[in-house]
Structure 1
C-alpha cells in the first residue's frame, strides 16, 4: 500500500504502511481510534480486518467490573444507564464508562437491570437480571451496541431461552450467542448468529447444564463451565457426579460434552459451586475453594488426555476474614466465598465475599485491593477479564 503522510506537522519521509500498522497494533485501542479519527489517511486501519485481528491478539487484558444492588426498577424511565469500570493495563488506574439502553426497543416493558456477564474479543455481554428478556453486547472503545431479544422456542411448548455466552465461530467467522432451554425434563440448546440473525436448534440433549451465572472460559476451541448442581437436581432428582462436573461446548462442532475435575471426589453432593475455572498460561485451570483457609489451583497440562497437575496453593484465611460480610448467608447466593476471575501475568484477580476485588501476586504472595468496597451492604460486584479492541460486529456481519 502507499506510504501515509497526512499529518501537517510531519516533515520528511513518511513511514511505510506495514511499519505504521506494526506500531499501531501495539498501542491501546483508544489511542489507535483517536489517531484514526484525527488523520483521515489512518482511518482504513480500523476497517481492515487483518489489522483489527492482529491488534486483538497483541492487546493486554484489563479488568472490567460493575457494582449493582437489588434496587427497585423505575418503569417511568425510557433510558437505562449502567456504569461500568475499567482498569488500565497495570490495574492501577480506574476509568468509569456509561452504558445506556433505550428501553423502548430493548425492553418494551421497561423491566431492565443489565449486569455484566462475560467478555469476548472486546465486546461485553450484559444480561438483563429480571427477567432475561434481552441481552446487550457493547464495545466500550468504539461505542458499538447490539441488543438481542431473547429467542423463544414454541414447540412442543413456549419456552424462553437463557444465554450461556458469546463466541466467535472459527469456521463461519461470525459471532454467535449460545442459549439453553428446558424441554420437559430435558435441556436443549440453540445458537443465534449475530450476522444472519438466524437460530439453529442443536439436536442433541445437554446432559449436564452449565453454571451460566459465571462467564465461560474460552480455550482450546471450546467454552467451559462448572456444572449447575441445582439446575441438574431440579430436573433429574439427583446430583451430578464429579466425573461430569466440567461442562464444555465445542465451538466448531457446536456440541456439548463433560469432563472430570481433578483431585478427590467431592465429599458432599451439590458442592460444585465452590469450585471454578480460570485460564492461566493458556491452559484451563480448576480451583477449589471448599476449604476456609486455602485456595487450591490445578492446571490441565494435557487437554486431550485430561492430565491435571496441582499448580498453586494460596493461603486465603486472613484475606477472607478481613472481608467477611456479617449477617449474610453464603449459601443463599450459591457462590464461593473466594472466586478466581482472571490471571494477569503473575497476578490473580480474586472476588472475595461478593463485594471485594483483589489482585494476588503469585510470586510475592501479596494482595492488592482493586477499587473501593461499596458502602451499600446489599451491593455486589461482577468482574471479568476484558480486552479493549476495535472489533465491530457490524463489520463482521457485512462480510
Structure 2
C-alpha cells in the first residue's frame, strides 16, 4: 500500500476508520505510524471525531476510566462497549476536557495532571501552590493561537495560567476582574469550556450570583448574569450552547436555559426544557442533584444523578429510569465522575512539545 499510494491518500483512508481501528493501524508498520503522528492527521481526525463520554469510577485501590461513544439516538437495551479503558496511576477527579485531553486533579494532594486516554500519555503540572478553600480550575484552548491553557482561580491568590505548549511555570495573570466585587465563592471547582471561554458560577459573598467568564486567548475576565437567581444551578455545555440548569424548586418544574445570541448581537438566555418535579427516583427528588450529559432530538435526556446513577428521562412520558449504558457503581466505588470528550491522537510530547511526559 505504501508503494502504490501517496501518503496523503493513505491518510485519507485512515481518517475514515473508527478510532479503535486507527489506534491498531499505528502498530502495523512505521510508515502508517508516521502518517498518523503528523500534525495534519491529528488536526483532521480531531475535526471529524464524534463526541464521547469519559467515565471514572474510583475505588480505594484503583482509578479506572472508560471512554464510551455518545450516540445521537438513545440505546437502552445493552451496555456500551468502551472505545478505550485504562487505570490511571494517580487518584484523580475530572476537572475539564478539550481536544481529547483531560485535566485531572488528585483530591488528596492537589496535584494536577493532563492526560490523553487515546495515546496513553500523561504529565504532572508542577509548581502551583494551591489554597485549601475556594479553588477553581479550568482547561481550554485559545481560538486564535490554538494554545492549550490550564487556569487556576482563587479569590485570595488570584488567577494563574499554565500554557502547555510553552512549558513555562505557572504565571500570575493580572486580570481586569475585581475579585472583591464579583468573586468571593465559587459554586463549582471545574470551569465549563465553551466557545473559547471558561465559565464558573460565582458569588460575591452577599446576594448576587454571576457567571465569571475567562477568555482563554486574551486572558481577560468578564461577567454576565444567570437567567434566574438559583444558587443550586449548574453550568454545562450542550452541543454548541452554554446551558444553565436551574435545579432549585420554582413552581412545578426545573428549567434548562440555553445561552443564545439575540438579533441585537447581545447574549440572551432562552428557556428550552422544563422538567416536572413531580417525578422522583427511588423516592428522592431527582432534580436536587444532577449532571445533564445529553439532550436528544425528541427532548429526552441522559442524566447522571447524584454522582451515583445514570438516568434516562423521557420527555414525552415524563418518567425516569435507571440505565446501565455506562456501567454501575460497585460497593467499593466512591462515586461516578464523567465529562464529554472528543477523542484525539494529540500527543503531549510530539504535538505539544511537553517535557516529563509519562505513559500508562
TM-score range, shorter chain: 0.7 to 0.9
State the shift of 1:85 in Å: 2.2
Partner-residue secondary structure (3-state), 1:299: strand
Partner-residue secondary structure (3-state), 1:173: coil
Distance 1:215 1:363, change over 3 A: farther
Q: What pairs up with 1:48-67 in 2 under 5 angstroms?
A: 48-67=38-57
> C-alpha separation between the residues in 2 aligned to 1:50 and 1:363?
44
Match 2:192 to one of 217, 238, 252: 217
Distance 1:379 1:100, change over 3 A: closer
- Which residue in the other structure is 2:183 paired with? 208
Runs of 4+ in 1 over 6 A off after TM superposition: 158-161, 363-366
Partner-residue secondary structure (3-state), 2:350: helix
State the shift of 1:36 in Å: 2.5
> C-alpha separation between the residues in 1 aligned to 2:258 and 2:41?
33
- Which residue in the other structure is 1:379 paired with? 334
Unaligned regions of 5+ residues in structure 1, if any?
7-13, 72-79, 102-111
Partner-residue secondary structure (3-state), 2:41: helix
> C-alpha separation between the residues in 1 aligned to 2:236 and 2:122?
27
Match 1:146 to one of 123, 127, 132: 123
> C-alpha separation between the residues in 1 aligned to 2:12 and 2:316?
32
Partner-residue secondary structure (3-state), 2:349: helix
Encode CA deviations 1:222-272: one digit per residue, 9 max, x unaligned: 112222x4xx43xxxx23x14xx212111111112111112xx43xxxx52
Distance 1:363 1:281, change over 3 A: farther
Encode CA deviations 1:50-70: one digit per residue, 9 max, x unaligned: 22112112111111112236x
- Which residue in the other structure is 1:105 paired with? none
Partner-residue secondary structure (3-state), 2:249: coil
State the shift of 1:363 in Å: 7.4
- Which residue in the other structure is 2:357 paired with? none
> C-alpha separation between the residues in 2 aligned to 1:177 and 1:160?
19
Q: What pairs up with 1:1-399 in 2 under 5 angstroms?
A: 4-5=1-2, 14=4, 17-68=7-58, 81-90=62-71, 92-95=79-82, 97-101=85-89, 113-132=91-110, 134-152=111-129, 162=135, 164-183=137-156, 188-198=158-168, 199-204=170-175, 205-206=178-179, 207-208=182-183, 211=186, 213=188, 215-227=190-202, 229=203, 232-233=204-205, 238-239=206-207, 241-242=208-209, 245-262=210-227, 265-266=228-229, 271-272=230-231, 274-291=232-249, 294-302=253-261, 304-315=265-276, 317-318=278-279, 320-322=280-282, 324=284, 336-343=288-295, 348-360=301-313, 369=323, 370-376=325-331, 379-398=334-353
Partner-residue secondary structure (3-state), 1:56: helix
* Structure with larger RCO (C-alpha < 8 A, sep 6+): 2
> C-alpha separation between the residues in 2 aligned to 1:323 and 1:144?
43
State the shift of 1:336 in Å: 4.4
CA root-mean-square deviation: 3.4
Q: Contact between 1:342 and 1:348, CA under 8 Å: does it hold in 2?
A: yes
Distance 1:44 1:378, change over 3 A: closer
Unaligned regions of 5+ residues in structure 2, if any?
355-360
> C-alpha separation between the residues in 2 aligned to 1:24 and 1:294?
48
State the shift of 1:17 in Å: 4.1
- Which residue in the other structure is 1:10 paired with? none
Distance 1:258 1:289, change over 3 A: same
TM-score, length of structure 1 as denominator length: 0.73
State the shift of 1:372 in Å: 4.3
Larger Cα-atom Rg = 1
State the shift of 1:163 in Å: 5.4
State the shift of 1:202 in Å: 1.0
Distance 1:135 1:343, change over 3 A: farther
State the shift of 1:389 in Å: 1.0
> C-alpha separation between the residues in 2 aligned to 1:56 and 1:366?
36
Encode CA deviations 1:116-147: one digit per residue, 9 max, x unaligned: 22221111121111231x11111111101111
> C-alpha separation between the residues in 1 aligned to 2:211 and 2:195?
14
Residue-pair matches, total: 336
Q: Contact between 2:93 and 2:106, CA under 8 Å: does it hold in 1?
A: yes
Distance 1:214 1:26, change over 3 A: farther
